[in-house]
């Protein structure tokens, strides 16, 4: 029986590169043995999410999320709560493309990214859940996490990752800590933080050293809490991050945990906003749960190291 694939693509991502290569991309998935069709997302809320749910319930074996990290997040949210979940492939066309970086998917050529399916390998990937919403790469809160919202879409499209670097340098003097209670598997942190981060991969905001020991299928978040907001200490930590040496810094809490609960304290002047995969995901309090090996993701497994996984890859 012929397998079916549904490409869900954002027609405005990556300067419309996906739409330009769409016929060739369709042919790649046909070559891989899938009867393939495509759906262009619309400005309607949850367009990609709703189409992913529809395709999964209709029995499609493969869903291709073609766009930025936000498109991938929507597709996963569309299928994560279902009992029968299709395999997911990604064709990156966003700004940082963190998830594609973690899976060693080509990030500057949609057609080459599509061709990874020809290797017929998938990884069993953990995903996170924040209250009722799923995420695939990161959840974050605190002043530093608001950088994602502060960079206009126009600048992200024009300058990509450089836009974040420039905006980050501009915002550093304005960083103000928030008060939180963070409960995790082996303890509690209660105090000030400029940033808390729950990571599922080693690729965060274009950096691969923020979580140097990340495993993609161990059922654990890497929880990182930045305990300082002093400019000189932040600059020192940023220098350590570039070398992956920050994990032992006394101003950093760095632990592994399956579940995390974030509760804002009463002395905060503003709500504690939660960032999920680069988009606003509601306000704390929030309960995070890691769902181990929940989604099968097409990955360039041959280029990945064995220490990134616990379980072997899946043959498609």
Q: Which residue has the higher pLDDT, 121 or 233?
A: 121
Pairing of strands 62-67, 3-9: parallel
Question: What distance in Å separates the CA atoms of residue 185 and residue 21, rounded to the nearest whole number?
Answer: 46
Is the separation of the CB atoms in 140 and 275 below 8 Å? yes
Which class would CATH give 135-292? Answer: mainly beta
Q: Which residue has the higher pLDDT, 142 or 24?
A: 24
Q: For position 250, what pLDDT does the model report?
A: 84
Q: For position 165, what pLDDT does the model report?
A: 44
Give 26-53 as a 3 state SS string: HHHHHHCCEEEEEEECCCCCCHHHHHHH
Average pLDDT over residues 263-274: 92
**Pick the catalytic residue: 183, 233, 240, 279?**
279
Burial 242-264 (b: 16+ CB within 10 A, else e): eeeebbebebbbbbbbbebbbeb
What is the chain's mean pLDDT, rounded? 86
Average pLDDT over residues 1-27: 88
Q: Return the beta strands (E) in 160-313 as ranges.
A: 178-184, 187-193, 195-199, 221-226, 252-257, 259-264, 273-276, 279-283, 286-298
Short-list 140, 232, 150, CA closest to 194? 140
CATH 2.60.200.40 spans which residues of the chain?
A: 135-292
Average pLDDT over residues 191-213: 84
Give the range among 16-20, 25-29, 148-152 with minimum mean pLDDT: 148-152
Please calculate the CA angle 74-65-39 and round it to the nearest 5 degrees: 95
This prediction's pTM: 0.89
Q: For position 270, what pLDDT does the model report?
A: 87
Q: For position 300, what pLDDT does the model report?
A: 95
Bridge partners (DSSP) of residue 129 are 134, 289
Pairing of strands 221-226, 133-135: unpaired
* Omega cis (within 30) before 285: yes
Average pLDDT over residues 55-79: 96
Short-list 46, 43, 45, 50, CA closest to 6? 50
Categorise residue 147: left if φ over 0, alpha if ψ from -120 to 50, beta otherwise: alpha
Residue 118: pLDDT band (50, 70, 90) is: very high
**4-13, 64-73, 165-174, 255-264: which is most confident:** 255-264
Q: For position 22, what pLDDT does the model report?
A: 94
Q: For position 37, what pLDDT does the model report?
A: 98
Q: For position 224, what pLDDT does the model report?
A: 93
- Specify whether 279 is catalytic: yes
Q: What residues contact 199, with CB distance under 8 A and at least 6 apart?
A: 137, 138, 210, 211, 214, 221, 222, 224
Instruction: For 127-186, write each residue's pLDDT tens digit.
Output: 999 999 999 999 999 876 655 444 444 444 444 444 444 445 555 556 778 999 999 999
Check whether 40 has a pLDDT greater than 60.
Answer: yes
Q: Tokens representing 259?
A: 């579940």
Q: For position 192, what pLDDT does the model report?
A: 92
Residue 12: pLDDT band (50, 70, 90) is: confident
Instruction: For 238-264, write each residue's pLDDT tens digit.
Output: 667 666 677 787 888 999 999 999 999
Q: For position 145, what pLDDT does the model report?
A: 62
CATH 3.40.50.10330 spans which residues of the chain?
A: 3-119
Helix (H, G, I), strand (E, B) or coil at 302: helix
Q: For position 206, what pLDDT does the model report?
A: 63
Residue 20: pLDDT band (50, 70, 90) is: confident
For the domain with range 3-119, which CATH number is right: 1.10.760.10, 3.40.50.10330, 3.40.50.300, 3.90.550.10? 3.40.50.10330
Q: For position 156, what pLDDT does the model report?
A: 46
């Amino acid at each position: 029986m012929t397998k079916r694939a549904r490409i869900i693509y954002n027609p405005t991502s990556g300067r419309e590169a996906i739409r330009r290569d769409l016929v060739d991309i369709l042919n790649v998935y046909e070559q891989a043995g899938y009867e393939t069709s495509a759906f262009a997302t619309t400005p309607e809320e949850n367009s990609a999410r709703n189409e992913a749910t529809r395709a999964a319930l209709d029995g499609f074996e493969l869903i291709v999320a073609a766009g930025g990290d936000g498109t991938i997040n929507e597709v996963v949210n569309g299928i994560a709560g279902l009992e029968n979940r299709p395999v997911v492939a990604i064709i990156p066309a966003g700004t940082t493309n963190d998830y594609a970086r973690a899976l060693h998917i080509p990030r500057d050529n949609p057609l080459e990214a599509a061709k990874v399916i020809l290797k017929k390998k998938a990884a069993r990937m953990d995903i996170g859940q924040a209250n009722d919403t799923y995420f695939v790469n990161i959840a974050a809160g605190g002043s530093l996490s608001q950088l994602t919202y502060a960079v206009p879409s126009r600048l992200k499209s024009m300058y990509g990752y450089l836009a974040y670097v420039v905006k980050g340098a501009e915002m550093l003097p304005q960083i103000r800590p928030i008060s939180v209670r963070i409960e995790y598997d082996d303890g509690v942190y209660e105090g000030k933080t400029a940033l808390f981060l729950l990571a599922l991969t080693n690729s965060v905001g274009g950096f691969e050293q923020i979580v140097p020991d990340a495993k993609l299928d161990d059922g654990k978040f890497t929880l990182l809490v930045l305990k300082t907001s002093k400019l000189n200490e932040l600059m020192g930590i940023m220098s350590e991050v570039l070398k992956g040496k920050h994990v032992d810094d006394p101003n950093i809490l760095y632990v592994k945990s399956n579940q995390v609960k974030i509760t804002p304290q009463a002395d905060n002047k503003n709500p504690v906003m939660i960032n999920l995969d680069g988009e606003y995901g509601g306000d704390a309090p929030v309960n995070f749960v890691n769902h181990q090996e929940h989604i099968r993701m097409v990955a360039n497994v041959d280029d990945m190291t064995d220490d990134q996984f616990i379980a072997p890859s899946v043959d498609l």
